[in-house]
Every structure is written in C-alpha cells, then in structure tokens.
Amino acid sequence: MCVFCEIIKGNIPSAKVYEDDDVLAILDISQVTFGHTLVMPKKHCANILEADEETVLKCAAVAKKLAKQIVENTKATGVNVLTNCGESAGQTVDHLHFHIIPRYDENDAITIKFNPSKEQDLGQVLKVVKGE
Ligand code: 5GP
Ligand code: ZN
C-alpha cells in the first residue's frame, strides 16, 4: 500500500493546498517548518529517477508556483524545494514528491548544511559523472 496513493484516492484525509488533474499538493503531516507542503503526481511513480519527464515537469511547475505563494503568505525569508530519492537520501515514502519547506530566520526543525569534505580531483569526478 502506498500512503500517498491512498491520500490521492481520498481514503486517507489530507489538508489540500492545490489540486489539478495530474498533481496534488498537501500539507506535510510533520510540518518541519510552518507551511511545509508536499507536491506529488497523482500517477504513482517511486521517485524522480523512475518518473517520466512530463510527470516531473508538471510537479516542478506546481512546486515553483506554490513555493512563491507559500513564501509570500507565510512571510518566510527563504524556502527549500527538494525531493529525496532513495533511502540513503532520506526518502521514506516511495511515491515521488517535492518538499516545499519555508524557512524563517529563527531556528527551525531542519538543518541543511554542506560540511567541508575531502578535496577531490574534479577532472576525475567529471569523468565518472559523465560515464567516460
Ligand atoms: P520523504 O522522507 O519520503 O522525503 O518524505 C515523506 C514525507 O511524508 C514526510 O515528511 C512525512 O511527514 C510525510 N508523510 C508521511 N505520511 C503522511 C501522511 O499520511 N499524511 C501527510 N500529510 N504527510 C505524510
Ligand atoms: Zn503511490
């Protein structure tokens, strides 16, 4: 059973922020920050890597519009828009979704921080990334 498919079918209640024929946006039950919203396709696909491009683009377009709306209405000072893909990336629900996480100046329940890492040979990294 996919919890988001059950929400889309109306079998599990949700707080709907936006809906059209292909996309649903709901408040995240955990509200990591005030206004935390999830944008998902109505068609089940596991994640951004599995989804077809049209589905991703439809969700991204809605996420972009809603991010602007939510920042304006919540008076947030910033926003993170992200999708987790795979367990190692923190994905817990295997139905593609974009998080819209409004950010505020005071401390909130999320930290996104790029720590310094071991220096890499970018030429070598590029070869691997490009599959050469
Ligand atoms: P992930 O960790 O997969 O990127 O994000 C899944 C998100 O779905 C979590 O932030 C979690 O709080 C949210 N979530 C899980 N179950 C439900 C639910 O039944 N209703 C709502 N609104 N959100 C849910
Ligand atoms: Zn699903």
Cβ(118)–Cβ(47) below 8 Å? no
- Predicted pLDDT at 43: 98
Residue 94 alpha carbon, nearest atom of ligand 1: 3
- Whole-model pTM: value is 0.96
Q: What is the CATH number of the domain that holds 81?
A: 3.30.428.10
- Predicted pLDDT at 2: 98
Cβ(100)–Cβ(36) below 8 Å? yes
Domain range for 71: 3-130
Between CA 101 and CA 96 the distance in angstroms is 16
Domains identified in the chain, total number:
1
Q: What tokens were used for 38? A: 């999830």
- Predicted pLDDT at 14: 98
- Predicted pLDDT at 106: 81
| Active-site annotation holder among 36, 44, 95, 97 | 97
Exposed, middle or buried, 30 (CB in 10 Å: 0-12/13-18/19+)? exposed
Question: Which residues hold their Cβ within 5 A of ligand 2, which is an ion?
Answer: 2, 4-5, 44, 95
97 noted as active-site residue = yes
- Predicted pLDDT at 112: 87
SS (H, E, C) 14-77: CCEEEECCCEEEEECCCCCCCCCEEEEECCCCCCCCCCCHHHHHHHHHHHHHHHHHHHHHHCCC
Q: Per-residue pLDDT tens, the chain, 132 aa: give them.
A: 999 999 999 999 999 999 999 999 999 999 999 999 999 999 999 999 999 999 999 999 999 999 999 999 999 999 999 999 999 999 999 999 999 999 998 878 888 889 999 999 999 999 999 999
Q: What tokens were used for 50? A: 């599995």
Cβ(38)–Cβ(98) below 8 Å? yes
